[in-house]
Structure 1
Amino acid sequence: HGTHSNVVRQSTPSGVTTCRAETGNMQARSDQSTDEIQGRADFDFLRYASCWEDADVLIEALRPQAGKRVLSIGAAGDNAFALAATGADVVAADINLAQLACLELKRAALLALDYQDVIAFLGVQDADDRQQTYQKLARQLSDDARCFWDHHPSRINGGIVHQGKFEAYFQLFRTRVLPWIHSKKTISALFQPREDDERFAFWNERWNNWRWRTILRVFFSRFLMGRLGRDPEFFRYVTGSIGDQIQERVQYAMTTLNPAENPFLSYIATGNFSIALPYYLRPENFNRVREGLERLSWYHGTVDAVAQQHAKSGFDAMNLSDIFEYVSEQTAESIYRKLLSHANPSARIAYWNTFVPRRCPLNLRDRVQPLDGLSRELHARDRAFFYSHFQVDEVLATDA
């Protein structure tokens, strides 16, 4: 349990004897990818301490099961864990070693601790002994991951699910902005069980006031989100105002969907998953998630490079997160084409759009069938409400 026999780690480049997480050497080598965002955005720190994508929707889209191989963006690990819990073999890739350090530490905790200790150590519940727990888990980590966390003891002590740049952005919103708009009583009332018509009434009568509308546009503007939440380069291909779109999607999450079942809304409004848990942390999934970790391998590099290096018998499903959002249409087509060469017939490919519409490139439509009906159905249930679109494509059986 907890060994790394199935994990191939990149060796530290010659001449670099200190931790790659601390020297600016976290970025994947340039020969590993054509992915242009790698050369523009900063990948030397933890961007996301949780996966901000709905694993339930992803599992329905990709149909992972025993005997299938899945390629996945690593991110914070959550959705790679969820996919492996279905019985599938999962290969995770990330160009950011800090993200892989996050994945590794969560994995070590899930393997070694009981359920209550896992959620306490990760930061979902209170704990005062996280550093002691970490010392027990550290021996299960790769050198890079252990070095990263050894250099960030305060992040361990604070609970790692709260330690990404994106989480800090939402923490700023919750502590400094939201109190100017709504009382604690109103925020708590948001998560009370209601029927559909009652949720719309709550939105109209108590939530959607002029302060909310005004501040939302400012705080979730491209300018502030780029500098405080993500990376300015992530918005290179965004056109037009994003404030209206976010307002519309938040309304949808608070009215059409049920806030009491939404882990993403729970975190943004309360600062934790106190109202609802993500898939990999739900108690009913715990044993399956833990068992699935033996079928998970992870690699440092871009998703197309990792797909090529570890293709073996090909992949039956691919979780691409929102990677096409940050690159030009030409680069998106190049990545998609490379991934297709490692996709088995009838493989499912899933990805999100936030502000930039990206679909299967027209030049590849003879090899791929966009599942538009399924995509719309799943997006309508997607609790990660900030995405404008969720797309599922299926590789045609003739592409053998």
Structure 2
Amino acid sequence: MSAATSDTGAEISGHANFEGVRYAQCWEDADILLEGLDIQPGDTCLSVASAGDNTLALLTKAPGRVIALDLSLAQLHCLALRVAAYTVLDHPELLELIGSRSSARRSELYLRCRRALSAEARSFWDARPDAVRDGIGSAGKFERYFALFRRFVLPLLVPRTTLAALYAQPTREGRERIYLERFETWRWKALFRAFFSKAVLGRLGRDPSFFRYTSGSPGEHLLRRARHALVELEPGDNPYLAWILNGEHGSGVYGHALPLALRAEHFGTIRDNLAQLEYSQTSLEAKLGELGPNSVDRFNLSDIFEYMSPDNSDALLGKLAEVGRPGGRLAYWNLLAERRRPESLAHALRPLTAEAERLFGQDKAFFYGAFVLEEVVGGRP
């Protein structure tokens, strides 16, 4: 999820507050993102920064250039601290600083990273010692919302022994049996729908303005998707689910899975390719105008269209197609607002529907409604 947007009508910047950290982690599955984008060595990638994890994940594919942007300076400070951590720390220390693993020395680790930060980023994180102490992956409004769920709601829904039993089941059939017997209760459904309603989610988790163009109940949608994550997918392999349930990227019964950018096998590659990364506080449209036609191969767009009107979404997709090179790819998620290439852009973008649906079936960041892949065709109608 992201705070970035285009200039089209200043839709988000005119309604949402960007002063604090909204997302201290990227809540999109980088595994399906990278497979869908199919980045080739030397490619130019444009990425919505958000907290930085998935932007850094792009570096594992040896692109020639990764251009990250966000309207929120706070989100860019999240990316900047991660860049400093990859530069200064070793891999276990990075996991401690993020909060993926327990630690009593995060303040010390931050002080080592601090020297590699700009004055503005240092000032931002110096003013947030509690966020550093608790793990910078917990610093966002969205993560605090999940912490409330974990502390106050989850114990009322299902005991930890039941979660442990479900995690211990090696088969889908076994997980489905436990889910039907112990989760499919009136309490689970009622409290889940209430906590993830538009009113509560808008107040405590996201921003109320982010629901302007959505339809349906987020609680009902997330209830269905939670079942998918707990039954259809392997819970122990899911770092996003582990954080929601346990506040870390897996420990004990929750496994030890990590998001792609935090895995040990990618740490050195990301560190080695940091020179290919650039980032700035700007709008997507402004950056597209700066880059010009046929200049970008791959686009990581998070879920930016969720917050935009259909007309503005279509207009932005047209501009993205102009800047994209033929054969390039766009990847983005839908949550509750349906956004895809309109027929008016059939000459410029080709949906990769079968591939996107296959990858969506594997999506460990399970709460989205769709994963969208589109290929730049080029040309004019």
TM-score by length of 1: 0.89
Partner of 2:183: 207
For the pair 1:65 / 2:35, whether they are aligned, the reply is no
Matches within 5 A, 1:50-61: 50-61=25-36
For the pair 1:331 / 2:312, whether they are aligned, the reply is yes
Instruction: Indicate how the Cα distance of structure 1 residues 139 and 311 shifts in structure 2: closer, same or farther if over 3 A, else same.
Output: farther
Matches within 5 A, 1:174-189: 174-189=150-165
Matches within 5 A, 1:128-147: 128-147=104-123
Letter in 1 for 2:51: A
Matches within 5 A, 1:1-400: 34-88=9-63, 89-274=65-250, 275=255, 276-311=257-292, 314-398=295-379
**1:124 Cα deviation from its structure 2 partner:** 1.5
**1:308 Cα deviation from its structure 2 partner:** 2.6
**1:280 Cα deviation from its structure 2 partner:** 0.8
Would you say the 8 A contact 1:101–1:145 is kept in 2?
yes
Would you say the 8 A contact 2:8–2:312 is kept in 1?
no
User: How many aligned positions are there?
Assistant: 373
**What stretches of structure 1 of length at least 5 have no aligned partner?**
1-26
Note the aligned Cα RMSD (angstroms): 2.0
Other structure's SS at 2:13 match: helix
Instruction: Indicate how the Cα distance of structure 1 residues 338 and 143 shifts in structure 2: closer, same or farther if over 3 A, else same.
Output: farther
Other structure's SS at 2:365 match: coil
Deviations 1:310-340 (A, max 9, x none): 4596110101110000011111122222222
**What stretches of structure 2 of length at least 5 have no aligned partner?**
none
**1:98 Cα deviation from its structure 2 partner:** 0.4
Would you say the 8 A contact 2:99–2:134 is kept in 1?
yes
Other structure's SS at 2:273 match: helix
Separation (CA, whole Å) in 2 of partners of 1:204 and 1:397: 49
**1:205 Cα deviation from its structure 2 partner:** 1.5
Other structure's SS at 2:168 match: coil
Other structure's SS at 1:390 match: strand
Identity %: 40
Instruction: Indicate how the Cα distance of structure 1 residues 96 and 297 shifts in structure 2: closer, same or farther if over 3 A, else same.
Output: same
Letter in 2 for 1:55: A
**1:34 Cα deviation from its structure 2 partner:** 4.4
Separation (CA, whole Å) in 2 of partners of 1:242 and 1:366: 34
**1:186 Cα deviation from its structure 2 partner:** 1.5
**1:361 Cα deviation from its structure 2 partner:** 2.5
